[in-house]
Amino acid sequence: MNDKQKELYSSARDQIEHNLSIIRPGMTFVEFNEKSWRIPEKYIPFRYTLAIHGTGMADEWPGILLHPDFDQGFSGIIEENMVLNVESLIAEEGSESIKLETQALVTSAGAQRLDSFPWEEG
């Protein structure tokens, strides 16, 4: 990876790791949004709008939008035994984009990744 790719990859990994670390059963979607990783301004125009979503044929319920797009009226609760996909797409003007995603099971202790694929050291 070149230096720009490493920077973008590191930010994408930070976003996913942060958002995984805050997921707890009983957490409301609003609370998740308030505590979620904040995308630096330079990446916002190129973001993927979802922070997390359910598993299925597409971006299934609950589709919890990132903080710039979140609707405070979208209510719900993260429940134990939900399987959620935690996502990131990071890019800036003139750059390639980095898109990462992982599936996680919501346990009583928080989110547990279901994959074993290691992140790159960026």
pTM of the model: 0.91
So where are the chain's domains?
3-113
| Residue 119: per-residue pLDDT | 85
Pick the more confident residue, 70 or 11. 11
Confidence of residue 122 (pLDDT cuts 50, 70, 90): low
Are 85 and 71 a contacting pair, CB within 8 Å?
A: no
H/E run at residue 94: none
Confidence of residue 78 (pLDDT cuts 50, 70, 90): very high
In angstroms, the CA 62 to CA 75 distance is 10
* 100-118 per-position pLDDT tens digit: 999 999 999 999 999 988 8
Q: How many CB atoms lie within 10 A of CB 85?
A: 19
* 21-67 per-position pLDDT tens digit: 999 999 999 999 999 999 999 999 998 889 999 988 878 889 888 88
Q: CATH number for the 3-113 domain, one of 3.30.420.10, 3.90.230.10, 3.20.20.140, 3.40.50.1980?
A: 3.90.230.10
